[in-house]
Amino acid sequence: MIPLPREVSFIMLRFIDLFFSLFGLLLLAPIMIIIIVIGYFDTGSPLFFQTRVGRHMKPFNLIKFRTMLPETESVATHLVASKAVTKFGAFLRKTKLDELPQLINVLKGDMSLVGPRPCLYNQLELIEERERRGVFKVLPGVTGLAQVNKVDMSTPEILAKLDQELNETMSVSRYFRYIILTLLGQGTGDCIR
């Protein structure tokens, strides 16, 4: 089978992103509304916005459901104490429901469903590794190769290596494979101290 040119596959994956993010938002809207209501009682602020590093290192606002206390410092998750996570937040993280608002980021074109997880601007070692490996040439994603292999941002060099591999081997079939593995519960979110 002849591989598709990169430009064609990028356009095809973007179309799939648009379709599934719009479909997901419509289908999951009732669940998201329930999470927002419970989130108001949990933290008083159910949505979480954070500036992340996007494609070509441009900033964008990542949207998630809040899983930590509002006063938690804005650092990589593996640097946050476990006591910062609320009980409801722990449930959202375990079920990956905290990621649902990122469908808005995908719809807007800030992210893809599959790609390297977007990092913070203060994760300098990871940014350096990713820049060296050309990872910022693609849209960041909700899930990807590193996530289904349980590699998080606490190991920047290993993560950047997997991100590079993801970019170099991306295909429509792998795109769906990573989504299915994520939905089946393979992998975990970033660990918390």
Taking CB atoms within 8 Å and a gap of at least 24, the contacts of 77-86 are: 77/152, 77/153, 77/189, 77/190, 77/191, 77/192, 78/152, 78/153, 78/154, 78/190, 78/191, 78/192, 78/193, 79/193, 80/192, 80/193, 81/192, 81/193, 82/192, 82/193, 84/192, 85/192, 86/42, 86/43
Work out the angle between the directed axes of helices 6-42 and 87-95 (0-180°, nearest 10): 160
The confidence score (pLDDT) of residue 7 equals 58
Is-above-0.75 flag for pTM?
yes
If residue 51 lies in a helix (H) or strand (E), which one and from where to where?
strand 47-53
The confidence score (pLDDT) of residue 1 equals 45
Residue 190 lies in a domain: no
The confidence score (pLDDT) of residue 8 equals 55
The confidence score (pLDDT) of residue 42 equals 93
Residue 191 lies in a domain: no
Residue 87 lies in a domain: yes
The confidence score (pLDDT) of residue 117 equals 95
Structural domain of residue 144, as residue ranges? Answer: 6-183
If residue 174 lies in a helix (H) or strand (E), which one and from where to where?
helix 172-183
What total of structural domains would you count in the chain? 1
What residues form DSSP beta bridges with 112? 141
Residue 192 lies in a domain: no
Tell me if residue 160 falls in helix, strand or coil: helix
Residue 53 lies in a domain: yes
pLDDT digits (tens, 9 = 90+) for 17-42: 999 999 999 999 999 999 999 999 99
Residue 26 lies in a domain: yes
Residues of the chain with pLDDT under 70: 1-8, 72-82, 187-193
Residue 1 lies in a domain: no
> What's the angle, vertex CA 139, arms to CA 133 and CA 144, rounded to 5?
75
Residue 166 lies in a domain: yes
